[in-house]
Structures are given as structure tokens and as C-alpha cells.
Amino acid sequence: MPSSPNGQLSAWITIDDEKLTEYDVHKVGKTMTCWIPSELGKTFSVHWKNDGFKKNPFGEIAVDGIDCAGMVIESNSLPFSAECSGMRGGATYRPFIFSALKLTDDDDFLEQPLNKNFGSIVVRIYPVKFLAPRRRVRGSGASEPGPSLPKLTVHERSKKASAHQITLGTWLTPSRRRRIELRRAGPDVVKFCFKYCPLDLLQANGIAPAPEGSKRLFKRKKTPTPEPESSDEEDEEDLANEAEMRALRTRVKSEPRVIDLTRPKKRVKLEGGRSQPFTGEVIDLT
């Protein structure tokens, strides 16, 4: 995603160490928003980078409207980037996963309140001040009770109904982590909002471009109409018919014309009144 208004802070999402393509990127005030393609069953990581902000920026991460992690970058180690792959609980963490969102037609779920930020990953960055000495601790490998993300069921007619939600995987042990005590020291500098949805739905709604080749038009090659073949017998028959017609015309010319004036003329009634000239009809098949 484009960097913050001052050009010093940026954020992005990765799957399998590959940065996700961002669609419909736009800015309103201090908030940068875009769409990213989620992939069912895939873990993902949230990244942000400080290229020059001097006030120890802290990146607070929320998924589906739930605050779940935070990362800080010291101003004396620039430029530097941070990464968050899940929610911590003690010395372990559970990775973020794009999971299937269960839909239902049970009308009882129509009144179920959903967080307004459901379906998004938000990185909010603001300055902080350190309160205690910083120290690194190694993971013990023991899982501890910690925060979790609920598995939701949403009514199929809900405005928030999509195909995916974010859940947590099994407990993992990082190599080491750093424990820091700090407090907020100023207002938000920038907020990055990544709305997620499967790629095919982004394409169906015109947010992401359609797959290559899906709009390609193929012209059918016009097949020439074969010329009718004539045989010698057909040629002889045509000559005979032509000679017969010449003889008939000669005989008609030689006979006197007799017109019967007593016979009334018949009036021919045309069905449907006068015929109108055909202007042709154009049918647009596109």
C-alpha cells in the first residue's frame, strides 16, 4: 500500500512470503484503504515499515475488529520493518489463518451484531514512549491461555456476508521475543485498512481485473459459400430450355392480341394494407 502522508510509514500483507496485490487503493484523511485477495486455509503475516519517523512508532493490529497484537520500531534503528504473524499467549503464539465463513438462512442470525470492521485487517500507527528496560526472553514452549478469535456464523443476506473470516492456528513457539512496557505518546499518525475477500469475488465485483483471456473475443472465420458445380448434362438442358423459350416468344409475337373488354377487371386486395419498405433490423449480440 502507498506510504503514509509523510512518506515515512508503510504496511502490507504477505502469504507464503509473497506480498499480496492491493486493489482499489484510496486515501481519506489519515486512513489508507485497499482490498487484498484472501486464500482459504492460508496463514498470513502483517508487515509495516518505518523509513524515517523519529518518535518510536507503534503498530497496533486488529483483525475483524478485534485488537490482537502490537509491534514497535525504535527510531534509532531506521529504516526498519516489523512483522506480526499471529496472536501471542505467554511465550507462544497462534498464527493468523484465512478460514471459511459459515453462512446460514436462519433469520435469528439477521439481528446478530457484527463488528463494523469485520472483514478487514487494520494497522494503526502512533508514537509511544518506553517505560521500562527492554529485555529479550526465549519461548518456553508451554502454551498459556490467551486471546482467541471466534468462529462466526453469519446470515447469508447480511451486508458483512463474504466467504472468509480470520481464525487462529495451533500454538507455535517463536525463537525469541522482546517484552517492552510503553505508553501512547500522541495521536494516530496513519491507519492502514486492508479489506480481504477471495479473488474471484473481487473480480466479480469489478474490484480486481478479470482473468486474462476472459474478455477476449473470437471472430468466427466466414466460410465461403461454394460455387455450384455444373455438369455437361445440365449445360445441354439449359441450352435446350433457352431455345424453347426463344421459339415461344416468336410464336407469341406472330399471333394477334385479343382483348375482351366485357370482362371486368379483378381487384386484388393486399392483406395488411400497403407494404412498407424494409429498412432492416439490427440486433446487437454484444
Model confidence at 242: pLDDT above 80: no
The whole-angstrom separation of Cα 255 and Cα 23 is 90
pTM of the model: 0.69
Residue 249 has pLDDT above 60, yes or no: no
Mean pLDDT over 176-198 rounds to: 88
Which of 215, 207, 246, 239 has the alpha carbon at shortest distance from 25? 207
pLDDT in the model for residue 104: 83
* Predicted local confidence at residue 259, as pLDDT: 45
Query: Averaged over 237-242, what is the pLDDT?
Result: 59
Average pLDDT score over residue span 189-213: 93
Residue 136 confidence (pLDDT) above 90: no
Q: Identify how many contiguous H helices and E strands the chain contains and give both numbers.
A: 2, 18
- At 266, the pLDDT band (50, 70, 90 cuts) reads very low
Output the average pLDDT for the chain. Answer: 76
pLDDT of res. 274:
42
Range 71-90 average pLDDT:
82
